[in-house]
Amino acid sequence: MSELLKQIGETTNNAGARLGDTILEARDLHVIFGTGVRAVDGINLKIYRGETLGVVGESGCGKSTLGRTLCMLEAPTGGSVALNGLPISDMKGSSLREARKSLQMVFQDPYSSLDPRQRAGEIIGEPLLLAGVDKKQRQSRVNELLDLVSIGASGYAKFPREFSGGQRQRIGIARSLAANPEIIICDEPVSALDVSVQAQIVNLLVSLQRKLNLTYVFISHDLAVVRQMADRVAVMYLGRIVELADADKIFAAPRHPYTAALLSAVPRMPTSSAKRKPISLPGDPPSPMHLPPGCRFQARCWLRQKLGSPDVCSAVDPMLSGTGDHQAACHFQEHVDAQRGAQNA
């Protein structure tokens, strides 16, 4: 992991949010599945042009569902999504297809993300085919894209099975770029890959972002990768964003006990202050169908324990609050940073 950090570290630096205008906005987004699972449970989020927003959280907290809903692969059961000001969550059929052209996704599974029966050239050219680009132009554009992701034109006629996991991911990235998107939602694009390959893909994404002026939503459960990629970070817990801040702020001084616990669990994470003992997260998250009243983190919250279980935690559901560039959903967010040092006494 430390090697990965070093490799990535050379190509990126957290320049802070390069705030442009809002490109994608979610308002009070809800996704409740037929099973009763509240996978996304009231999310408000603005994504600014040119930035990388990291989305982190435990498995099952709704990261993928959020990503899929932002591009309307999953219909929200409540709330709205606007892309460049257009309410894509109200659209259907061909108008939706037209409106979300500038939105693409890179997927986690390098196996199921490419049709095994198609050649790399056909896969990458599919968005062009759908956009009505003629064959000749399509071929030259695909070759261009193959070069861009360092596969090279020799990969054109090969089938997905002939590529390694990392190469497949490059092909998936090339496909997502084919139609010149403005924003790409990357759902754990490197977590299925070997660590050595992860760094290459992350570097590719970063250099593409610079070259093509892309906006990323970068979903991951790997804080180390997010720290290197992201300008801002959203921490998700049970379908909610519990902390949202500039990357350097969140890593230096988290304002939600859950984030603090996640950070302490990352081995050899270079932190600003002295070494801390890892904070344990007892138990599993509660069922996303039956949430307790009050704070959804209360059953596992070390800070609440420390503060002698104040009533407000089990009575009032904390909303995101704080300053513009650092918000957390915790009634005692100003205590988090100070208390985490003295944890696990």
Ligand X SMILES: Nc1ncnc2c1ncn2[C@@H]1O[C@H](COP(=O)(O)OP(=O)(O)OP(=O)(O)O)[C@@H](O)[C@H]1O
Interacting residue ranges for ligand X, rule: CB under 6 A: 33, 35, 37, 39, 57, 59-65, 221, 288
Instruction: List, in sequence order, every residue forming a beta bridge with 45; answer none if it has no partner.
Output: 26
Contact 160, 115 (CB under 8 A): yes
Token pair recorded at residue 154: 């020799």
Q: How far is the CB of 65 from Mg ion (least distance, A)?
A: 8
Contact 61, 239 (CB under 8 A): yes
- 55 vs 128, beta carbon nearer Mg ion: 55
The residue count of the chain comes to 345
- 69 vs 167, beta carbon nearer ligand X: 69
- 165 vs 286, beta carbon nearer other proteins: 165
Q: How far is the CB of 31 from ligand X (least distance, A)?
A: 8
Binding partner at 301 among other proteins, Mg ion, ligand SF4, none, C-beta below 5 to 8 Å by kind? ligand SF4
298 near ligand SF4, judged by CB under 6 A = yes
* 231-290 binders of ligand SF4 (CB under 6 A): 257
Token pair recorded at residue 124: 């990458």
Q: Which residue is nearest to ligand X (CB)?
A: 64
Instruction: List, in sequence order, every residue forming a beta bridge with 312; answer none if it has no partner.
Output: none
- Which region among 32-40, 63-71, 138-146, 220-228 touches Mg ion (by CB under 5 A)? 63-71
Residue reference for tokens 């006494």: 345
The order of strands in the sheet holding 240-246 is 103-106, 183-187, 215-219, 52-56, 232-237, 240-246, 326-328, 321-323
Q: How far is the CB of 75 from other proteins (least distance, A)?
A: 12
- 100 vs 240, beta carbon nearer other proteins: 100
Cα 276 to Cα 115: distance, rounded to the nearest angstrom:
46
- How many residues of this chain bind ligand SF4 (CB under 6 A)? 12
Binding partner at 131 among other proteins, Mg ion, ligand SF4, none, C-beta below 5 to 8 Å by kind? other proteins
The DSSP element (H or E) to which 40 belongs, if any, is strand 38-48
Q: Which residue blocks in the chain are alpha helix, DSSP H? A: 2-11, 63-70, 93-99, 120-130, 135-148, 165-177, 195-212, 223-229, 247-252, 257-265, 302-306, 311-315, 333-341
Residues in contact with other proteins by the rule CB under 8 A: 68, 71, 73, 97-98, 100-101, 103-105, 107-109, 111-117, 123, 126-127, 130-131, 159, 161-162, 165, 172, 175-176, 178-179
Which one of residues 17, 114, 244, 303 is an interface residue with ligand SF4 (CB under 6 A)?
303
DSSP state of 299: G
Binding partner at 65 among ligand SF4, Mg ion, ligand X, none, C-beta below 5 to 8 Å by kind? ligand X
69 near Mg ion, judged by CB under 5 A = no
Instruction: List, in sequence order, every residue forming a beta bridge with 29; answer none if it has no partner.
Output: 43
Token pair recorded at residue 192: 């299925």
Which one of residues 12, 52, 64, 228 is an interface residue with Mg ion (CB under 5 A)?
64
Interface ranges with ligand SF4 (CB under 6 A):
257, 295, 297-298, 301, 303-304, 313, 318, 330-332
Interface ranges with Mg ion (CB under 5 A):
64
